Structure 1
């Protein structure tokens, strides 16, 4: 019988494992930052956590688990058991991620049939075996039918939900221990239809087991009409008055549950209930010292109860490390310090990206940490004494000062005008608008021209490489932009400007004295 029981258990577990492999399980609904699932009595702790005053979030509300169970029920005792069955209902609540409590009702019918003659338990007229024992020189063949109502309260410890390498468990192993109050009605088939004991003299108890079982089956009527012997507490509940045993018992067990969805799981459980009583099978054995116990192998269908918008799954289905690992991967709540990156020259560009790591303090640099050279004359701005040197005045000396040649058109200019040095105006990209920086440069040019009213100005644009499309137009518009600014914004007479476009690549418009 034990081998069949374990074969059934192995088959059921294989079926459940296969079903869980095809289960579509959505990610956990648990979020430590979600205060909507925290009860009011723990909201103070949650607020402290959210505001970085505490390292630990409050425990959220979790769903209850309603279970229905049924399976193979046996009594391990003096008499050999035959298959019985049990079933019932349970309600389970999480105390934390590891511990939970489960209240459960189990009703069961257990059967047993010995196949050997044994000495009778003598007890006068109250002994149900008295009639049959009298026919067989004080010998009997024990059998029983035991009906039980059991209420239990078990503490359950989950073993597999705290995982370091997976976000959420799909299988939950657990062990349990607890207390049971059982009402047990034990009856025996001691009398035949005529009210007399069975005559076993025609059965060869030395033969084959199958032959003995068949002979007993044909002889007995299986009506279990007699109360079995019992010791201790009795109450008038059950089919026969004064036959119900009221017993306290210890539970021990283990089980595994397979998650099918966030609302449903299927489990297999083995539970042993020990009332420490020798009469669960109606026969105490020689001396009455054998203690019987119940063995219950069940399949369990479990449903999670509760509003998912206000409650998370039962906590034994949630890995408490999931939130901590998610914070390490993608911080949402973690307070991160401002990164400090080395910048040896203090120019605002970190050493990792600084192409000129030894720029003098205070020197203006570009995004790559290289000292700026506004006029492109090869002398950085922090050394350049002539910040904007016209391109036709280059190359320059060590201080960035260039020597400007006299233009062909202006070689006969008056000495007073010939001595003037006028800057170039820079444009970015394909822009034709005078920038704010260049407006300041042209303002200084206007002041110079007001101080030298006899001097005219040659405004030279650069049309780009020969044949380059659009170059002449761009150059002309830039020249016009410079003249418009000096005439319209600074009040310089337009008649003093001479326009000129020359070949060559440049983003500047050059200004030079001319008459």
Structure 2
């Protein structure tokens, strides 16, 4: 019996070892990871399997009434409902034959336990309901569960006929099919070949609730037998759906995180590219706004007559002034109260973008009236830019100068004579209110107009 036990153990472990070699050579299915919190309809939850293998009237570390067991063909099938990724319910069917004899003495040299020379049991049917636990969904170090170790345990009913042989005589143990309950306990490995096909290698021990499986009752003990099998499992449902037993929740959570992070990075990159393009255009416009290539006092941004010869008097558009007459008697310039009101309104309505020299469009209307005043009465205008004390002295001085120049450039663009508009920046050196309060700092951020 010891040598037969070793043969059965070698066969079982050989099948498991060959399954590992197959896992290395067989093509794995494409990893399909449904989104996190996907409904059960996203998976294949029903499957059926067929298998065949070796039936033997012994189990690991088991004792028998006969000394030499023989391997016979067994066959089976099952249908499984996967409830959770790691847990399912499986209904099994098993059939085949069991054989053993007393051709060898016991290890201690004594006579065999059974007085019969051999027996043959035909397992007509065995059906059981089993709990199925997939260990691959508990072991989370792999993203895709191509190899799935599993264990099963359940309860069932089997029917069998026994023929006993004593010397040359063969007799039926019972005139009717024997029915007994049994407890199947199994383990194995499954290998994913595709989304809806798996290779199944397993070993199952079956404990019969009786001592009549071999036709000989030797005492209050249970007979037992094993089934080592290889088979295929087919998932029911669409080919694109992965089996729920292969689903790894942690991998799905990781995939969801990676997808969200990638989308966020893409949105951020797009925003950065958009911002860079806007900044490049602003720098280009600002360079044109600041530059005066021909030195006529009108920036290139507003200059409609570029490359004016040096020393040429130009109008607000940068074009040469056509002088048709000369005033012999100078006219005295008189600034009226209405003129002062127009200037005061422009000062009141003048607004810039925060920390910049860009004039807001709400200031255009009042500045246009100042430009009209300069053109119609030939006034001169001095612009003085001031800031509060927030920031460095150098930055405030530059900002005040840029804002005064910005107002000048706008007035010139509206037709004012550039030579009659002076722009100066004083930074924070001439406050009109205390810089210790918000209202005082607001009063100090200003551009003053002096009309003469």
TM-score for both structures, normalised by structure 2:
0.57
What do the CA deviations read for 1:166-216 (whole angstroms, capped 9, x no partner)? 322111111111012010211122363xxxx5xxxxxxxxxxxxxxxxxxx
Residue 499 of structure 1 corresponds to which residue in structure 2? none
Partner SS state of residue 178, structure 1: strand
In the alignment, the residues of structure 1 paired with residue 143 and residue 89 of structure 2 have an alpha-carbon distance, to the nearest angstrom, of 24
What do the CA deviations read for 1:271-329 (whole angstroms, capped 9, x no partner)? 111113222223334xx3443201111112111111346xx433221001223222332
Residue 300 of structure 1 corresponds to which residue in structure 2? 231
C-alpha displacement of 1:450: 1.7
CA distance 1:284–1:367, shift in 2 (3 Å) = farther
In the alignment, the residues of structure 2 paired with residue 319 and residue 325 of structure 1 have an alpha-carbon distance, to the nearest angstrom, of 10
Residue pair 2:296, 2:313 contacting (<8 A) in 1 also: no
Residue pair 1:154, 1:179 contacting (<8 A) in 2 also: yes
In the alignment, structure 1 segments of 5+ residues that lack a partner are 39-59, 122-139, 198-224, 231-240, 340-364, 378-387, 394-405, 421-434, 456-481, 493-509
1:245-284 mapped onto 2 (5 Å cutoff) = 245-284=178-217
Residue pair 2:45, 2:83 contacting (<8 A) in 1 also: no
In the alignment, the residues of structure 1 paired with residue 369 and residue 21 of structure 2 have an alpha-carbon distance, to the nearest angstrom, of 85
Residue 376 of structure 2 corresponds to which residue in structure 1? 450
CA distance 1:2–1:81, shift in 2 (3 Å) = same
Partner SS state of residue 27, structure 1: coil
Residue pair 1:86, 1:108 contacting (<8 A) in 2 also: yes
C-alpha displacement of 1:141: 4.7
The structure 2 residue matched to 1:177, chosen from 153, 161, 185, is 153
Residue 87 of structure 1 corresponds to which residue in structure 2? 75
1:438-477 mapped onto 2 (5 Å cutoff) = 444-452=370-378
Residue 291 of structure 1 corresponds to which residue in structure 2? 222
Residue pair 2:72, 2:97 contacting (<8 A) in 1 also: yes
CA distance 1:447–1:308, shift in 2 (3 Å) = farther
C-alpha displacement of 1:32: 3.7
What do the CA deviations read for 1:429-471 (whole angstroms, capped 9, x no partner)? xxxxxx9899876774343122239x9xxxxxxxxxxxxxxxx
Residue 32 of structure 2 corresponds to which residue in structure 1? 28
Residue pair 2:196, 2:239 contacting (<8 A) in 1 also: no
Residue 122 of structure 2 corresponds to which residue in structure 1? 147
1:356-435 mapped onto 2 (5 Å cutoff) = none
In the alignment, the residues of structure 2 paired with residue 417 and residue 373 of structure 1 have an alpha-carbon distance, to the nearest angstrom, of 39
Partner SS state of residue 109, structure 1: strand
Residue pair 2:52, 2:230 contacting (<8 A) in 1 also: yes
Partner SS state of residue 277, structure 1: coil
In the alignment, the residues of structure 2 paired with residue 97 and residue 253 of structure 1 have an alpha-carbon distance, to the nearest angstrom, of 19
Residue pair 1:19, 1:260 contacting (<8 A) in 2 also: no
The structure 2 residue matched to 1:331, chosen from 247, 255, 260, is 260
Higher helix share: 2
CA distance 1:418–1:99, shift in 2 (3 Å) = same
What is the alpha-carbon root mean square deviation over aligned residues? 4.7
C-alpha displacement of 1:392: 7.7
Residue pair 2:33, 2:255 contacting (<8 A) in 1 also: no
What do the CA deviations read for 1:481-501 (whole angstroms, capped 9, x no partner)? x9x986xxx8x9xxxxxxxxx
Matched, 1:73 2:55: yes
Residue 55 of structure 1 corresponds to which residue in structure 2? none
CA distance 1:64–1:118, shift in 2 (3 Å) = same
CA distance 1:436–1:142, shift in 2 (3 Å) = same
Partner SS state of residue 326, structure 1: helix
State the number of aligned residues: 309
CA distance 1:157–1:24, shift in 2 (3 Å) = closer
1:153-232 mapped onto 2 (5 Å cutoff) = 153-190=129-166, 192=168, 197=169, 225-228=170-173
C-alpha displacement of 1:4: 2.1
TM-score for both structures, normalised by structure 1:
0.50
Partner SS state of residue 280, structure 1: coil
In the alignment, the residues of structure 1 paired with residue 113 and residue 13 of structure 2 have an alpha-carbon distance, to the nearest angstrom, of 39
What do the CA deviations read for 1:323-361 (whole angstroms, capped 9, x no partner)? 3222332338x99xxx9xxxxxxxxxxxxxxxxxxxxxx
The structure 2 residue matched to 1:16, chosen from 19, 22, 29, is 19
